[in-house]
Structure 1
Amino acid sequence: MNPAHTTAAPAAVVLLSGGLDSATVLALAREQGLRCYALSLDYGQRHRAELDAARRVAAALGAAGHEIVRLDLSRFGGSALTDHALDVPTDGGHDGIPITYVPARNTVMLSLALSWAEVLGAQHLFYGANAVDYSGYPDCRPEYVAAFERMANLATKAAIEGRPIRVQAPIIALRKAEIIRTGLRLGVDYAMTVSCYQADSQGRACGRCDACRIRAQGFTEAGVPDPTPYQP
C-alpha cells in the first residue's frame, strides 16, 4: 500500500544522528502522536559509532521505519569530522565557526528528509538544531530553520497541492540540561546515544571535544548521573 494513503497517525521524518539531541527530538515527535520515520546519514563521519547508536535509538523509541543513507561527504573534506588530516579540537576554545562544522550538512540532510517525506505523505520534518548550548554552527539557528521551511514549501509538489511542510526544531531554544530532563521524562535512555566527535568503535567518548564537554556539563546541570561510556 502507498504509505501516503494509509489512515494511520500523521507521518513525520526525523533526522536521527544517534546523539543525545536527535534522540530527544524523536521522543518529542512521538509525543505529538506522529508516526515517525527516522533518517540517518552515513556521510563519512569519523564517529561512525553514532550510526549504531541511531539503530538502537530508532528501535527503542518505536520508529515506524529507519533508513541509513550513504552519502560520502568525506570526498569533499573541509571538516574535522570528515577529513582525518584535520584534528578534532579538544582545547575548548575557538574563534568563529569551529572546524567540526561540516559544510552544508544540515541542508543536505534536510533535503533528503524532505524527499522521503513527500513519498510518505509526511508534512513534518524534525531535526535536533540547538542555538543555546552548541558549537556555533550556522545551520542550527532559528533563521535557518525558517528559511528551509520556506524553501521546502516552494520546492515540493506536496506543498503546491495544499499539503505544506513544517520544519520543526523543538529543542532549539533549550539548554542541554533542559533537553536531558525532557528526554528522561519521555523515557530516553541516553546510555544508548553517542555524541562524541571522535568516539571509538565501541561508542566510547573521548571526554575532551566540544560535544563531550557540552554533553557532560548538561548532565551535571540537570543533576543526573552521566551514563556516557568514556575511553580509558
Structure 2
Amino acid sequence: MTSTPRAIVLLSGGLDSATCLAIAREQGFETYALSVAYGQRHVAELTASKRVAEALGASEHRLARVELGQFGGSALTDPGIAVPEDVEADGIPVTYVPARNTVMLSIAMAWAEVLGARDVFVGVNAVDYSGYPDCRPAFIEAFQTMANLATKAGIEGHGLRIHAPLMTLSKADIVRRGTALGVDYGLTVSCYQAADDGRACGRCDACRLRRAGFEAAGIPDPTPYQHRSA
C-alpha cells in the first residue's frame, strides 16, 4: 500500500495561488495550504485564502505570521508608499517586498519536513507578472538546491521538490487552466489595495494583469470593483 503524497501549497488567496492549489490536487497530492501574514496592507487576501482552501479541499490550512512590514521598503507593507495606479513600471516596482518569496518558501520547507512532504507548490509566474526577481526560474531552482542542503530530509535523500506550474503560462492561460479545474475566481482577491470586503481598486498592477487575463481568455471577470469605471 502507498499513501497519497502530501504537498504544501503556498496560498495567498489570489488568482495564481488558487490555480496552483487546484493543479496540485489534480496531480494527486493531498494538499496542505499555507498562507503568510507578512504585514501586507491588503489583508483581504488572507480572508480569501480561507475560502479558497476550503473550496478546493485542502486537508489543512495554516496561517503563519512574520512581520516583514516592520522593515517597510514596499508599497505593500508601508502605508507611506503609494501603490502605483494605471501605469506599467519600468524595472522592479515599489510593490516588490524584499525577501517575501524566500521567507514564504522557507516556512513551507519547514512545514513540509515536519509533515514528511517532499513537494512544495508556489504560484510564481515569469510571463504576465510585475518583474519581481523572486518569481524567476533561476530563483526557484536555487531555492530547491538550498533546501536540499539545509534540511535533514534532504541530507537523508528525501529531497524537496519546488513546483512552479504557472511559471511559463500567460495570465489568460492560467485563467483557462483554473476554470477547467473548477476554480471559483470569485472567491479570490488579487488587488494590492483591496477593501476589507475584498473589492478591488481596478487600477493597480495586480488588477491590470488580472483583468487583462480574463479578457484574453474570453471568460467573464467575477472581480468586484470599488469603482464602477474599473
Q: TM-score, normalised by structure 2?
A: 0.97
Question: Could you tell me how far apart the structure 1 residues matched to 2:3 and 2:30 are?
Answer: 8
Question: 115, 136, 148: which is aligned to 1:141?
Answer: 136
Identity of aligned residues (%): 67
Quote the residue 2:18 is aligned against: 23
Question: Could you tell me how far apart the structure 1 residues matched to 2:115 and 2:157 are?
Answer: 15
Question: Could you tell me how far apart the structure 2 residues matched to 1:176 and 1:93 are?
Answer: 16
The amino acid of 1:144's aligned partner reads F
Question: Could you tell me how far apart the structure 1 residues matched to 2:211 and 2:88 are?
Answer: 16
TM superposition shift of 1:70: 1.4
Question: 73, 80, 88: which is aligned to 1:78?
Answer: 73
Question: Could you tell me how far apart the structure 1 residues matched to 2:19 and 2:224 are?
Answer: 19
The amino acid of 1:78's aligned partner reads G
Quote the residue 1:3 is aligned against: none
Quote the residue 2:223 is aligned against: 228
Question: 163, 166, 169: which is aligned to 1:174?
Answer: 169
The amino acid of 2:106's aligned partner reads S
Question: 182, 186, 191: which is aligned to 1:191?
Answer: 186
Question: Could you tell me how far apart the structure 2 residues matched to 1:95 and 1:181 are?
Answer: 28
1:182-203 Cα offsets, whole Å, 9 max, x none, are 0001000000000000000000
Quote the residue 1:69 is aligned against: 64
Quote the residue 2:6 is aligned against: 11
TM superposition shift of 1:95: 1.8
Question: 142, 147, 159: which is aligned to 1:152?
Answer: 147
TM superposition shift of 1:140: 0.3
* Matched residue SS, 1:38: strand
Alignment of 1:20-99 (within 5 A): 20-99=15-94
Question: Could you tell me how far apart the structure 1 residues matched to 2:87 and 2:184 are?
Answer: 27
Q: Does structure 1 residue 213 correspond to structure 2 residue 205? A: no
Question: Could you tell me how far apart the structure 2 residues matched to 1:219 and 1:167 are?
Answer: 27
1:42-89 Cα offsets, whole Å, 9 max, x none, are 111010000010000000000011000111111000000000000000
Question: Could you tell me how far apart the structure 1 residues matched to 2:123 and 2:52 are?
Answer: 14
Question: Could you tell me how far apart the structure 1 residues matched to 2:92 and 2:195 are?
Answer: 25
Quote the residue 1:103 is aligned against: 98
Quote the residue 1:161 is aligned against: 156
The amino acid of 1:48's aligned partner reads V
The amino acid of 1:195's aligned partner reads S
Q: TM-score, normalised by structure 1?
A: 0.96
Question: Could you tell me how far apart the structure 1 residues matched to 2:89 and 2:207 are?
Answer: 15
List runs of 5+ in structure 1 lacking aligned partners.
1-5
RMSD, aligned CA: 1.0
Runs of 4+ off more than 4 Å: none
The size of the alignment, in residue pairs, is 227
The amino acid of 2:167's aligned partner reads I
Quote the residue 1:123 is aligned against: 118
